[in-house]
Amino acid sequence: MRRFSWFNATSLTLGFAFLYLPMIILVIYSFNESRLVTVWAGFSTKWYGELAQNDAFLDAAWVTIQVAFWSSTIATVLGTMAAYVLVRGGRFFGRTLFSGMVYAPLVMPEVITGLSLLLFFIAVNLDRGIVTIVLAHTTFSMCYVSVVVSSRLVSFDKSLEEAALDLGCSPFDAFRSVTLPIIAPSVIAGWLLAFTLSLDDLVIASFASGPSSTTLPIKIFSAVRLGVTPEINALSTIMIGLVTVGVVTASLVIKRNVARAEAEARAAAG
């Protein structure tokens, strides 16, 4: 069995300390009694209480969750369609343009995406609000979903679909009963990715939002510009906590499913 060499152990320890210490400090100081965030004055949860009373943050959080839910759901449908078309669709008119448009938003600077969408919303006279943020977020996250789903579609055996078709399935039934179950984990992963991207986005939401629809990142950004506050530390801690629980749970579930599928495959083979 292999062990860590001292060099590797050191570089990993330093590396992970660099990645995690800033967030750990943030979490610790969210429980600080004092308003002076850099001076420790004893343990307290009062900033969480203040946060719960802060209507502006709560409203923004509600807007953010609605936007994230709708945009990630629409993006998952569109992104899965796009992935299917790109991997299985064969040749069609304008395919190069289509694949270009699917990949371009991944490398496009957010300021450009945001600016262009805002100018578009103004040109078509669409009032800015939750709807425009959902449209904007759907557009860039469907591309992420499509990348995640198409990597799964590429690796799975096309003959399974063909077998279903030979046995009399309609193309739609074949997709629903053969393809979808196989790509389901990547569709779910794509949805989760789209959801967190939307929760997290500041730049595009700033361009796409109107005065009546402020998302949490926009709220945090304007508060943070004035410096560190204990309320923001508390809010950050809640968000870090939720993400950690979500990601760890999701990966444990996926790991268990993979292990079960492998066990079934072994049992079937034996």
Partner 1 sequence: MRRLFLIAVPYLWLLALFLVPFAIVLRISFSDIALAIPPYTPTLDTSEGVWAGIRDLVSQFDFENYEFLTGDDLYWKAYLSSLQIAALSTFFTLLVGFPIAYGMARAPQEWRATLMMLIILPFWTSFLIRVYAWIGILGTEGYLNQLLLSLGLIDAALTILNTQIAVYIGIVYTYLPFMVLPIYAALERMDESLLEAAEDLGCSRTSAFWLVTVPLAKNGVIAGCFLVFIPALGEFVIPSLLGGSDTLMIGKVLWEEFFSNRDWPVASTVAVILLLILIIPIILFQRNEQRLREEEDA
67 or 270: whose CB is closer to partner 1? 67
Taking the CA of residue 151 as centre, how many other CA atoms within 13 Å lie in the half-sphere pointing to its CB?
A: 10
Identify which range of 45-53, 157-165, 183-191, 197-205 contacts partner 1 by CB under 8 A: 197-205
CB of 162 to partner 1, least distance (A): 16
Which residues in the 119-138 window bind partner 1 by CB under 8 A? 119-120, 122-123, 135-136, 138
Phi (first) and psi of residue 127, to 5 degrees: -65, 135
260 or 269: whose CB is closer to partner 1? 260
Chain Cα centroid distance, residue 84: 20
139 forms part of the interface with partner 1 (CB under 8 A):
yes
Report the alpha-carbon distance of residue 140 to residue 91 in Å, rounded: 24
254 forms part of the interface with partner 1 (CB under 8 A):
no
Which among 165, 186, 185 is positioned nearest to 177, based on CA atoms?
165
227 forms part of the interface with partner 1 (CB under 8 A):
yes
191 forms part of the interface with partner 1 (CB under 8 A):
no
Among 19, 167, 267, 268, binds partner 1 (CB under 8 A): 19
41 forms part of the interface with partner 1 (CB under 8 A):
no
1 forms part of the interface with partner 1 (CB under 8 A):
yes
Report residue 173 as tokens.
């039934």
Which among 193, 180, 109 is positioned nearest to 147, based on CA atoms?
193
- Residues in a beta bridge with 43: 32
